[in-house]
Structure 1
Amino acid sequence: MNPNVTTPDEPVKDSAQRRKARRMLILLFVVCAAPAVAAYLMYYVFRPQGGTSAYGQLIEPQRPIPAGLMVRDESGQPVPLAHMKGKWLMLSVDTAACDEKCVNKLYYMRQIRVLQGTERTRVETLWLITDGAPVPARIHEAYEETSELRADPVALAAWLPTQAGTGVRDHIYLVDPLGNLMMAFPKDPEPGKIKSDLARLLKWSGTG
């Protein structure tokens, strides 16, 4: 038989191989796109049935952590804040003096995280300190599980949205594991409602 002659079975085999290759490409795309798809679902499917919206203000369009937003850790080393993505981040912005409202936010974040039970390991609490003053020892000791990071207030103001009559120090913010700013909670928040929002997100999302 002439080796250059195509048999009737060969087109069928070639077609099957092409279909198999396409399926593999589609599967690879789905796996790679899964985190982005999860984030989309969290934004647009997150609202529970019955028309009840989330307590926190959903941030649309997405605001990823700016690549150039640097913070200093507790050892004074500069690191990009974006390097902390991978978990759900609850953020509070304030000065090191930390007045009563600041302490309340730190307390709320700690308790909200603890009340997530076994899911709490998926959540990190961050205090973004906007000056160089020392943190009072009593506050540092009370909230030692909250990371204290020094950040430029101008850079934070450019990234974090506020509501009418408020500033960045009035809110608790939530960042998703992909590094996108997702929610801003109201001034003087109801911690039980923040807990419910976060619990629902952790339930629906496989990321973080």
Structure 2
Amino acid sequence: MIASYFTYYVLKPQSRNNYGTLLDPRQYPIPALGSTALDGQPADLDGLKGKWLMVQVNGSDCQKACQDKLFEMRQLRLMQGKEMDRIERVWLITDQQPLETLVMREYDGTKLLRVKPELLKAWLPTEADTTAADHLYLIDPLGNLMMRFPKDADPNKVKKDLSKLLRASAIG
């Protein structure tokens, strides 16, 4: 009995079983981003509260790495099966340049919002030697940033994290 208390309270296990980095949601509520839809009308992430949001950040010149993340987000959502309606995909576009029509068509269903990049720097934490564009972020249904996936994340491990969260969460 004493050994179990000692083990539990003193030698706390250091292992974790999540792939993404958990962030303290109280530290990262969604700030006022001043975002707009592609047509210039005001639109923000608050309108998507109640859903889990997979978020990627990139400029409108969406090259291969950007398109790969958009593809992964689409596939990760589809892999959740009947739970996929609880997840929305969001691309935060950091400039005012026009988007390629083919990219918009290919990833139809992804919410496209233009934001000011300087506002994202203060909100989205990154790993050393990376930028927000290198990561995939997860926002909980209450509107708090709660997880960051590493650069070039393994989609199978991301899927496991998403599945666990959706199974454990009654909201969203």
Would the TM-score normalized by the shorter structure come out above 0.5?
Answer: yes
Given that 2:137 and 2:147 are in contact with CA atoms closer than 8 Å, whether structure 1 keeps it comes out as: yes
Given that 2:93 and 2:115 are in contact with CA atoms closer than 8 Å, whether structure 1 keeps it comes out as: yes
- The residue that corresponds to 1:109 in the other structure is 73
1:74 Cα offset (Å): 2.9
Residues 144-183 of structure 1 aligned to structure 2 (within 5 Å):
144-183=108-147
Given that 1:69 and 1:82 are in contact with CA atoms closer than 8 Å, whether structure 2 keeps it comes out as: no
- The residue that corresponds to 1:64 in the other structure is 29
- The residue that corresponds to 2:9 in the other structure is none
Given that 1:56 and 1:197 are in contact with CA atoms closer than 8 Å, whether structure 2 keeps it comes out as: yes
- The residue that corresponds to 1:40 in the other structure is none
Where do 5+ consecutive residues of structure 2 fail to align? 1-12
Alignment TM-score, normalising by the size of structure 1? 0.73
Alignment TM-score, normalising by the size of structure 2? 0.88
Would you identify which runs of 4 or more consecutive aligned residues in structure 1 move more than 4 Å?
none
1:61 Cα offset (Å): 5.3
- The residue that corresponds to 2:62 in the other structure is 98
Moved more, 78-87 or 99-108: 78-87
1:60 Cα offset (Å): 2.1
Answer yes or no: is 1:200 the counterpart of 2:164. Answer: yes
Deviations 1:100-154 (A, max 9, x none): 1101110110000000001000000000000011111111110011111101101
State the number of aligned residues.
Answer: 159
Secondary structure, counterpart of 1:184 in structure 2: strand
Within the candidate set 79, 87, 95, 1:123 is matched to 87
CA–CA separation in structure 1 for the residues paired with 2:25 and 2:165: 18
Within the candidate set 143, 155, 160, 2:107 is matched to 143
- The residue that corresponds to 1:190 in the other structure is 154
Secondary structure, counterpart of 2:23 in structure 1: strand
1:50 Cα offset (Å): 10
- The residue that corresponds to 2:38 in the other structure is 74
Where do 5+ consecutive residues of structure 1 fail to align? 1-48
CA RMSD of aligned residues (A): 1.6
- The residue that corresponds to 1:83 in the other structure is 47
Change (3 A) 1:71 1:150: same
Percent identity of the aligned residues?
Answer: 48
- The higher radius of gyration belongs to 1
